[in-house]
Amino acid sequence: MGQKVAGTAYIKVDGMQLTVTGGAEAPLSDKKRETVYPGFFKEEPLAPYLKMTVLHTPDLTIKTLTEGKDMTITCEFNNGKVYVLSGAYMVDEPVSKGDDGSIELQFDGIKGVWQ
C-alpha cells in the first residue's frame, strides 16, 4: 500500500495564507555536524529556517513579509508534518519574477519546532 509523503505544502505567515507553487524546505536539526577526522566531528548551531516558492498573488501583502521581524510561520506539509518557525524574519533578496509570477522566500528565525 502506498503512502502520500509529498505534495502541496500550506504556509501561513502571521495568519496570511501564501500560495505555494513548489515545495517548502525546513531543517530537521538545529545543528550542523562536520567530520574533522573519522570518528571525530565538530558541531555548529544552525539557524532555523523555512524556504519556499510562492505566487505573487494580488492579495499578497508584501509589507508584512518584508518588514516583519518577529513573525510566526506555520508550514503544513502534505504528509501531515508541521513545522513552526517563531521569531521569523525574511532574509536574502527576494524578487518577483514576471515570467511566472513567483517569489522565492527564505525566513530565518529564533526557534523552529516540528510538531
- State the pLDDT at residue 2: 60
- With respect to residue 53, please indicate whether it lies within any of the assigned structural domains: yes
Domain with 82, as residue range(s), is 10-27+42-114
Asked if residue 102 belongs to a domain, the reply is yes
In a domain, 108, yes or no: yes
Residue 14 — left, alpha, or beta (φ > 0 → left; ψ -120 to 50 → alpha)? left
pLDDT score at 11: 86
Q: Is 88 inside any structural domain?
A: yes
pLDDT of residue 43: 96
Domains contained in the chain, number: 1
Q: Is residue 32 part of a domain?
A: no
pLDDT at 3: 54
pLDDT tens for each residue of 5-35:
445 677 888 888 898 887 799 999 999 999 9
Element of type H or E holding 83? strand 82-91
Q: 44 φ, ψ to 5°?
A: -130, 150
Report pLDDT digits (tens) over 55-95. 999 988 999 999 999 999 999 888 888 999 999 999 999 99
